[in-house]
Amino acid sequence: MKILLFTLLMVFMTGLNPIQAQKDSNVFPFEYKKVQLENGFTAYLIDAGGPGQIAYLTVVRTGSRDEWEPGRSGYAHFFEHMMFRGTEKYPDFDAVTTPIGADMNAFTGSDLTAYYLVTANDSLEQLIDLESDRFMNLDYSEADFRTEAGAILGEFNQGRANPFMFLYEKLRDTAFDQHTYKHTTIGFEQDVRQMPEGFEYSRSFFKRYYRPENCVLLISGDFDLQKAEELIRKYYGPWEPGYVAPEIQPEPRQTVPRQAEVEFPGRTLPTISINYKGPAWSATDRLTVAATVLGEVAFGENSEVYRRLVLQEQKAQTIFADFEPLRDPYLLDISAMVNSEDDLEPVTREILATVEKYREELCDEQRLADTISALRYGFLNQLETARGTAFALLNYVVNTGGIEAVEDYYQTLQTITPDDLREAARTYLVEETRTTVTLLPAKEGR
């Protein structure tokens, strides 16, 4: 493993590629093959080491973002559960995956639903048969549907024990008026409660979104790429296209700052979340990439404000920024969990002062260079395993439908300057697009 890390590090430092078949690559070091079927299905076969092992990741480019019909939020997450219900050919999914020792799971986000399995490479054909079958032929009764919908309501209620669920529900609902980012992945509470009555709608959702044109498969690890391509064409070829794009309304430009407060019915530390409307994801737009770097430079664990408020003055338990763009324009989030309500105002002032500083001043060049190196090395670290390699490419698949943009992204990243960071701050960290939400414990708990 150390040899692999050293080799990949040399790739980043020298620009040389140890796999000659990828001569046009200076970032992603592994040989891969793109398989494009006539029905629109895309697969990337990646020779990523991991002796004797494969990772099998299917990305459905549908998440809570795609739930545009009123009263129907939560269905992307619903299918994360339902996809394990089985088919006529394989009625018991676990009965197939358990004997081969597959590590498997699924997750849903704003822009995707993803399913992965990691197992020995001698199970490749079994996996391709199993996965293609459930994506084409998922079958469930209304009774099964109601059972799973009830389980999701239980998951929703369980999530109410997490104060951050209250915070981000309120944040999204306050920050967005029309775009579907207004609701969280699990959905609005009233929609989740009504879900047991949505059996026929669920069939429509699956028929529109679980189509070959909307799914991308990543197989990484130790396997025969040519044999895998033959199997993919055999098993996925019959899948009929039919994807219907969601009718998502763009969010109008926010023109005045917004503010809200939410109480958590229990004990929690006060938390302030300050957000600005950001750009949609792009691998080549300099300001978009610079905005991502800005979040780490200004508010990361090595930042001046973090050291002062968390380590020195101990006014905050933690400060973190999430400036990662989504498929459509989303939020640049700066959050701080503070030790007492008395700390909310001074911590908020410090955050806003830091925002203003980066709008006015150029950041330290060495700090920027170190941050860019850390981001690149973080990507490199993910490539140690077959699963890590597939997951390292996930963001590019979700936003572009392929993995090729990884090269564009890191080429753009390498050219970001202090001027770019300041321009990103001036463009996106503006008062009129700011939404601030404060989370407090319930009054009786104070």
Q: Which amino acid is at 326?
A: L
With respect to residue 5, please indicate whether it lies within any of the assigned structural domains.
no
pTM of the model: 0.91
Establish if 361 belongs to a structural domain.
yes
pLDDT given at position 160: 87
Say how many C-beta atoms besides its own lie within 10 A of residue 22's C-beta.
Answer: 17
- One domain for residues 98 and 176: yes
Number of domains in the chain: 2
d(CA 116, CA 23) in angstroms, rounded, equals 29
Q: Do 435 and 314 reside in the same domain of the chain?
A: yes
C-alpha to C-alpha distance for 110 and 29, rounded to whole angstroms: 29
Do 161 and 57 share a structural domain? Answer: yes
What are φ and ψ of residue 399, in 5° steps? -85, -25
**Tokens at residue 254, please?**
């926010």
Residue 194 per-residue DSSP state: H
Does a structural domain hold residue 19? no
> Residue 21's pLDDT is what?
37
> Are residue 92 and residue 146 in the same domain, yes or no?
yes
Q: What is the mean pLDDT of residues 25-38?
A: 92
Please state the separation of Cα 70 from the chain's center in Å.
24
CATH label of the domain that carries residue 308: 3.30.830.10
Average pLDDT, the chain: 92
284 and 360 fall within a common domain: yes
In three-state secondary structure terms, 220 is strand
Return the half-sphere exposure (C-beta side, CA atoms, 13 A cut-off) of residue 213. Answer: 11
> Same domain, yes or no, for 197 and 269?
no
Q: What is the pLDDT of residues 208-230, one digit of tens each?
A: 999 999 999 999 999 999 999 99
Token output for 9: 């590090």
- 333 and 397 in a single domain? The answer is yes
Helix (H) or strand (E) holding 115: strand 113-120
Host domain of residue 370: 258-445
In a domain, 3, yes or no: no
Residue 159, pLDDT > 50, answer yes
Rounded CA-CA distance 46/222 in Å is 8
Closest-CA residue to 305 (of 361, 259, 358) = 358
Contact call for residues 215 and 86 (beta carbons, < 8 A)? no
SS3 for 28? coil
**Directed axis angle between helix 418-428 and helix 365-382, to 10°?**
90
**Do 226 and 285 sit in the same domain of this protein?**
no
Q: Are strands 258-264 and 434-441 parallel, antiparallel or unpaired?
A: parallel
- Are 65 and 181 in contact by the 8 Å Cβ rule? The answer is yes
DSSP code per residue over 345-410: HHHHHHHHHHHHHHHHSPPPHHHHHHHHHHHHHHHHHHTTSHHHHHHHTHHHHHHHSSSTHHHHHH
Final residue in a domain of this structure, among 236, 267, 297: 236
- CA proximity to 300, closest of 330, 284, 324: 324
Residues 266, 177, single domain; the answer is: no
Specify the residue for token string 């997750």. Answer: 107
* Length of the chain as a residue count: 446
- Tell me, yes or no, whether 415 lies in a domain: yes
pLDDT digits (tens, 9 = 90+) for 301-329: 999 999 999 999 999 999 999 999 999 99
Which residue has tokens 């498929």?
327
400 is a domain residue: yes
Residue 323 sits in the same domain as residue 422 = yes
- Does residue 163 share a domain with residue 293? no
Helix, strand or coil, per DSSP, at residue 23: coil
Q: Is residue 83 part of a domain?
A: yes
58-93 pLDDT, tens digit per residue, is 999 999 999 999 999 999 999 999 999 999 999 999
Shared domain for 304 and 388, answered yes or no, is yes
Q: What is the pLDDT of residues 188-211, one digit of tens each?
A: 999 999 999 999 999 999 999 999
Domain assignment present for 248: no
Question: How do residues 417-429 score in pLDDT, each as one tens digit?
Answer: 999 999 999 999 9
| CA nearest to 106, candidates 159, 35, 185, 42 | 185
- Type of residue numbered 357: K
Cβ-based neighbours of 263, under 8 Å, separated by 6 or more: 166, 439, 440, 441, 442, 443
Q: Is 309 exposed, middle or buried (0-12, 13-18, 19+ CB in 10 A)?
A: buried
> CA angle, corner 29, sides to 100 and 26, nearest 5?
155
Q: What's residue 371's pLDDT?
A: 96
End residue of a domain, out of 236, 270, 303: 236
Q: Please report which helix (H) or strand (E) contains residue 436, including its range.
A: strand 434-441
Mean pLDDT of all residues in 324-345: 97
